[in-house]
């Protein structure tokens, strides 16, 4: 692992320049350099791959567990530290929810690393039925559930059926994380009270298990805007949704299959499940 530890108050631009320098010197891809964030930092839409301290320990524990015991040094084998920082589950449901055209299916394909869900530009809904597909990411068995738009007020008669089907597809014995998908450049009137509609469908505690997944991250990069700036300058209804979800956010660029965005999503998932387990 190539870890780059940065100090509190670091400049993301300067760190990215350092990563690019290291890439030029070593010829390793920039994704191989993992920036270890100071304690109070959360993984944001940085250009570089990063770990929080918690996710670093979780990754190290995973790597340690994958190493045969006879290859470990004596001081590594204390059983009480063998799963440090990692929730004990190795399976998780990820449910993609949100308005039509936000990029739910595209995000599902990015997570799966292959095209399993139909995703295309369209003036009408593309996904019409809930579907599930599975993959394994760093040893975690991930069940991805793609859904049609269940929050469009115009399709009230069908949304209950979709909610029921979606719940049937969730593997109940495993933890469930909802990914509320939002297009970075298009926050619509219908999305203003999406959390209320979401809670009505999935229960009042569902938002405690929710991560906001913003698509078209490349548009932020083009505008040279950090995710922090985006949230600080967005309309109050969106800010409110971010606050209500405890600022658990990830940014995806679905046009480029960048593994590090899936890694960051899984770090956020792990952190959330670890926290929930400790409560
Ligand atoms: N440039 C860019 N395009 C994206 C991104 N995510 C999704 N898209 C495009 O947005 C369009 C809609 O994406 P879908 O994945 O079909 O959206 P959806 O939310 O599943 O839509 P419904 O199935 O209708 O509910 C497609 O043309 C995608 O290629 C992204 O991060 N960047
Ligand atoms: Mg879709």
> Domain check: are 192 and 68 in the same one?
no
Using one digit for the tens of pLDDT, what is the confidence trace for 200-235? 888 888 999 999 999 999 998 888 888 888 988 888
> Domain check: are 104 and 225 in the same one?
yes
Cβ of residue 108 lying under 6 Å from some atom of ligand 1: no
Q: Encoding tokens for residue 200?
A: 């009505």
> Domain check: are 112 and 220 in the same one?
yes
Q: Encoding tokens for residue 81?
A: 């530290």
Cβ of residue 125 lying under 6 Å from some atom of ligand 1: yes
> Domain check: are 136 and 9 in the same one?
no
Cβ of residue 120 lying under 6 Å from some atom of ligand 1: yes
Highest mean pLDDT among 164-168, 169-173, 213-217, 219-223: 213-217
pLDDT at 157: 56
> Domain check: are 60 and 194 in the same one?
no
Mean pLDDT confidence for 256-267 = 86
> Domain check: are 255 and 189 in the same one?
yes
Question: How many structural domains compose the chain?
Answer: 2
Question: Does residue 265 sit within a domain?
Answer: yes
- Please indicate whether residue 29 or residue 277 has the higher confidence score (pLDDT): 29
CA of 56 to the centre of ligand 2 (A): 33
Q: Encoding tokens for residue 140?
A: 């975690």
Q: Which domain holds residue 186?
A: 91-278
pLDDT at 81: 31
Using left for φ > 0, alpha for ψ between -120 and 50, and beta otherwise, residue 101 falls in left
**Which CATH number covers residue 258?**
3.40.50.300
- 3-class SS of residue 181: strand
CA distance 223 to 29: 25
Burial 191-205 (b: 16+ CB within 10 A, else e): beebbebbeebbeee
CB 18 within 8 A of CB 4: yes
Nearest ligand 1 atom to the CA of 149 is: 25
Q: How confident is the model at residue 73 (pLDDT cuts 50, 70, 90)?
A: very low
> Domain check: are 43 and 141 in the same one?
no
Question: Does residue 86 sit within a domain?
Answer: no
Cβ of residue 175 lying under 6 Å from some atom of ligand 1: no
Residue 13: CB partners within 8 Å, gap ≥ 6? none
> Domain check: are 52 and 185 in the same one?
no
10 Å CB burial of residue 37 (0-12, 13-18, 19+) is: buried
Q: Which of 39-48, 82-91, 125-134, 136-145 shows the lowest per-residue confidence on average (mean pLDDT)?
A: 82-91
> Domain check: are 6 and 111 in the same one?
no
**What's the mean per-residue pLDDT of the chain?**
84
Ion ligand 2, residues whose Cβ is below 5 A away = 104-105, 126-127
Burial 149-184 (b: 16+ CB within 10 A, else e): bbbeeeeeeebeebbebbeebbeeeebbbbbbbbbb
Q: Which of 58-62, 137-141, 240-244 shows the lowest per-residue confidence on average (mean pLDDT)?
A: 58-62
pLDDT at 85: 44
Last residue of a domain, one of 81, 100, 133: 81
Last residue of a domain, one of 63, 81, 99: 81
Last residue of a domain, one of 31, 61, 81: 81
């Amino acid at each position: 692992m190539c870890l780059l530890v940065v100090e509190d108050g670091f400049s993301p631009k300067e760190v990215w320049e350092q990563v690019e320098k290291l890439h030029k010197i070593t010829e390793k891809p920039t994704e191989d350099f993992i920036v270890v964030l100071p304690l109070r930092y959360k993984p944001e839409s940085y250009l570089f791959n990063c770990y929080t301290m918690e996710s670093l320990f979780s990754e190290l524990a995973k790597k340690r567990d994958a190493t045969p015991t006879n290859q470990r040094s004596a001081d590594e084998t204390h059983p009480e530290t063998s799963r440090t920082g990692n929730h004990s589950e190795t399976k998780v449901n990820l449910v993609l929810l949100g308005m039509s055209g936000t990029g739910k299916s595209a995000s599902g394909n990015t997570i799966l690393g292959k095209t399993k869900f139909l995703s295309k530009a369209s003036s009408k809904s593309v996904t019409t039925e809930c579907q599930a597909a599975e993959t394994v990411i760093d040893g975690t068995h991930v069940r991805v559930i793609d859904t049609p738009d269940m929050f469009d007020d115009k399709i009230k008669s069908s949304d209950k059926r979709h909610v029921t089907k979606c719940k049937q597809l969730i593997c109940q014995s495993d933890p469930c994380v909802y990914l509320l998908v939002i297009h970075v450049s298009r926050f619509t009137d219908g999305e203003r009270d999406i959390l209320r509609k979401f809670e009505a469908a999935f229960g009042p505690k569902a938002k405690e298990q929710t991560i906001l997944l913003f698509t078209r991250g490349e548009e932020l990069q083009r505008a040279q805007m950090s995710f922090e700036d985006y949230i600080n300058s967005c309309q109050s209804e969106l800010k409110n949704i971010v606050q209500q979800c405890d600022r658990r956010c990830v940014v995806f660029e679905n046009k480029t299959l960048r593994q590090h965005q899936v890694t960051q999503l899984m770090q956020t998932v792990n952190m959330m499940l670890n926290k929930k387990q400790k409560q």
